[in-house]
Each structure stands twice: as structure tokens, then as C-alpha cells.
Homo-oligomer: A and B are copies of this chain.
Amino acid sequence: MKIHNFSAGPAILPRSVIEQAASALLDFQGSGLSLIEVSHRDRDFEGVMHEARAAVKRLLGLGDEYEVLYLQGGASLQFAMVPMNLLRPEGKAAYLNTGTWATKAIEDARKLGQVEVVASSEDKNFSYIPTSYRIPTDADYFHLTSNNTIFGTQIQTFPDSPVPMVCDMSSDIFSRPVPANSFGLIYAGAQKNMGPAGTTLVIVRKDLLGRSGRTLNAMLDYGVHIKGESMYNTPPVFAVYVSMLTLQWIEAQGGLQAMEERNRKKAQLLYHEIHRNALFRPTVTDDSGSFMNITFVLNQSEHEETLGKMLQEAGISGLKGHRSVGGYRASMYNAMPIESVQVLVDVMQALENRLA
């Protein structure tokens, strides 16, 4: 049976990428060795790292003032590395709190200095993106989360910031064009739109580094990784390779513009059904809804079991909502075809017909 993978992450990847990865595992570029058996100092793998970094710059239109790193530890380690590298001990950082991950980022930054939360949507279980707030001009940076995987909200228009913007784009990077040049630092765990779990993309404007005045351990210092060309120590070879393939796949599909068109069509299809079908309702405000992770609930929870069975029979996997929201969450990353969304919509309509 064909499985429709709505998992929030690790998540669906292009089948051609997975097949190429499986083939490289058996024989990496005709070397007679597996991808995971060759030295990272091997010329072929150095080429992979170089291309994986270059593809990011091509897709986002970034110039030499930015450096691209493939690190480890997930976005969660960036919650610490960002303030370590950018927040002066006597300085202040500004954060927008739009969900679980933003909250964790704030908690970690508070261990390293002063944090001002400029706005928070916690009052309504993070069901909206705050829009009226003031970013302090004396902050070392302003941190925001572009897409909230758990709560299904997404920033549609980024603010004008008087200080460098730092953005956790883990769950929507490469899903749409963004004004990448207006950010000081962008980071993203790979395991949604850009690859498998195990590597974290960090894009940083070089002139922001070296200002915090802290003594950092080597692996926690962006400057050390930049000097090492993202190979200060052994990189996560497999995750970087699959990320490179995925970025090349995005380019072959037409780049970020094409991704956005596909993703908006998928989202419109599902949002339309959630609003049309009286059995369901969204959990977010209309202007804050994500087109990556769409969260919704049944109006009458007594239908959960029936729906669960129908979803399973249709091959729909990974649709369970996060426990903080309940209900359902459809994660529809770049690699998901609209056909899978149609299967989900068909099930929602079939439930409506059955209960009519």
C-alpha cells in the first residue's frame, strides 16, 4: 500500500533522493567504497561539502558576506550557540515567543544573559503570530521562529528590524523565497525540508561574529567552524550528502518560487476542506496559519476512532497532532505531492458522507 507520510519530522523526502542515497551507501561515486566508509578529507567528499554549502547560497541568493555551515546538535544546540556567539555578557537579546521551540530558545538564552520577550502568543496557546511589538534598538539581536511546527502557525511577513535578525527556520526553510539578506543568522535542523536528521544548517553574516567577547569552546564557536570550512572536525557525512541531494532536487524542480507555489496549492486544498467541512475546525487564526504544518481538530471527538480507522485504511501516516494541541497535524513539506493531500481531503469528505 502507498503510504502518505504527513510526519512532522523526520519527514518525507524526495524518492529520487532516497534512491540516490541508498546507491551511494553501496558505492560512493564509483569508489568501490560506501559513502560512510570514505574519509571526510577525501576529495570526493570535500566536493560534496563544498556543493552542499554552495547550493544554500544559490537557493537563497546570498553573497560572500555570509557563511554556510553544516553543524550537529539540531536547532536545540543553536538555542545555546546563538547567544554564546552573538550576545555580549552585558548586552540584551530580544525574542518573539511563538511556541514551544521559541520558549526553549528563550530559556537557553536566559542562561547566558538578559532576554527581552517583545511579544508572546502563549496567552492563546500559541494559536497566532503577534504582530504589534517593538524591537529594542539596543538589543544585540532579535530572534524569531519562522514556522511553529507544533502549533501550525507561520510568519508570513518578516518585520523590519533595527538590530540583526536571527531566525529559526527549521520547519519551513527552502519552502518559499525569503528575504535571506535581511537576516544576520538563520538556522535550521535539516530533518524537515532539507534532509535527514543529523545536521543543522547555520547561515551567518560574518561581520556579526567576534563581538560577544566570550571565551568559547571550540565546537561552540561559529568562527572555528568557518575557519575549518565546516569540517573543523568530522562532519555528519551522510546527513550532509543527503541534504546536498535534496537541495539539488529543489533547484531541479524550479527553486524556491516553485516550491512555494506547490506548497500553497497543497495548503489551500486542505485549509479549504477544514473550513468547508462542518466536522472540522482549524486551531489557529486565519492570518497565522502555516502552509507547512496545518493543525485542525474534530468538532466532536467521538468521531476520532472512526476517522482514525479511515485514515489508516487510506495509508495516511503521521497525522496525529502534538499533545500540546491535540487533534491532527498535516505536515506537507516540499517532497509531499498534492495527491497525498487529496487523499486526506477525500477521507475527510468520506467521513462527512458517512455521518450525514
Contact = CB atoms under 8 A, between A and B. Distances in A.
B238 A1 contact: no
Given A32-B2, A108-B218, A72 B198 contact: yes
Interface in A212-248: 215-220, 232-239, 242
Interface residues of A, number: 66
A73 B237 CA distance: 12
A181 interface: no
A22 B33 contact: no
Secondary structure of the A contact surface, majority rule: loop
Nearest to A317: B33
A38 B318 CA distance: 8
A213 to B, nearest CB: 14
A36 B72 contact: no
A6 to B, nearest CB: 10
Given A39-B7, A238-B196, A238-B239, A21 B13 contact: no
Contacts of A12: 37
A270 to B, nearest CB: 20
A257 interface: no
Nearest to A78: B219
Of the listed residues A1, A12, A196, A232, the one surrounded by the most CB atoms of chain B closer than 10 A to its CB is: A196
Interface string A29-42: 00111101111101
Contacts of A233: 74-76, 189
Contact of A217 (B36, B108, B189, B317): B108
B18 A36 contact: yes
A162 B125 CA distance: 52
A10 B239 contact: no
Residue among A13, A36, A80, A242 with max Cβ neighbours from chain B (10 Å): A36
B80 A217 contact: yes
Contacts of A40: 10, 197
8 shortest interchain CB distances as A-B pairs: A80-B217, A198-B236, A72-B72, A36-B196, A3-B32, A76-B233, A22-B25, A77-B219
21 contacts: A1-B32, A3-B32, A3-B33, A10-B37, A10-B39, A10-B234, A18-B25, A22-B23, A25-B25, A39-B318, A71-B73, A72-B72, A72-B77, A72-B236, A73-B219, A104-B218, A189-B233, A191-B234, A197-B234, A198-B198, A236-B239
